[in-house]
Amino acid sequence: MRKVVHFEIPADDVARAKEFYGFTFGWQLQDMPEMEYTIVQTTDVDEQTQMPTEAGAINGGLMRRTGETPSPVITIDVDSVDQALKQVEAAGGRVVRPRTEIPGMGAFAYFTDTEGNTLGLWENA
């Protein structure tokens, strides 16, 4: 069984969204300007692995809303993004963003399911 490992919240105004989530929930927010992305930490992480220390907890990100990501995205851990995208298409889903590498971390992709929901896939490096 594959688990949910990440979430992404799209925003029309990222600065406004950061203020909202930081104030409302006390989440720690770290800008990644080179990726036009903000890391959202909702739970403590292991300093070495950057993975949550609490079982079942996940962290996420904030980014500018696009046609690829019009609503929040949950991201599912897979052994192979490429294989998972083949399974998505075989089951009637559609690839929205093909495999995209994040150097030193892994790879991700976006797809829509048969109901039109956009979800993410994540493969660790």
Residue ranges per domain, the chain?
1-65, 78-125
Separation between Cα atoms, residue 52 and residue 100, nearest integer Å: 23
Report pLDDT digits (tens) over 95-109: 999 999 999 889 999
Establish whether domains 1-65 and 78-125 are of one fold. Answer: yes
At 71, give phi and psi (nearest 5°): -140, 170
Residue 17 has pLDDT above 90, yes or no: yes
Q: CA 75, CA 94: separation in Å to the nearest integer?
A: 15
DSSP character string of 6-74: EEEEEESSHHHHHHHHHHHH--EEEEEGGGTEEEEE-S-B-TTT--BSSTT--EEEEEE--SS-SS-EE
Residue 84 or 51, more confident: 84
Q: What percentage of the chain reaches a pLDDT higher than 70?
A: 100
Please list the residues that pair with 61 across neighbouring strands.
Answer: 8, 39
**Amino acid in the structure at residue 109:** A
Mean pLDDT throughout 5-32?
Answer: 96
Share of the chain above pLDDT 90, in %: 89
| CATH number listed for the domain at residues 78-125 | 3.10.180.10
pLDDT at position 44 = 92
The answer to whether 75 and 91 have CB atoms below 8 angstroms apart is: no
Class of domain 1-65: alpha beta
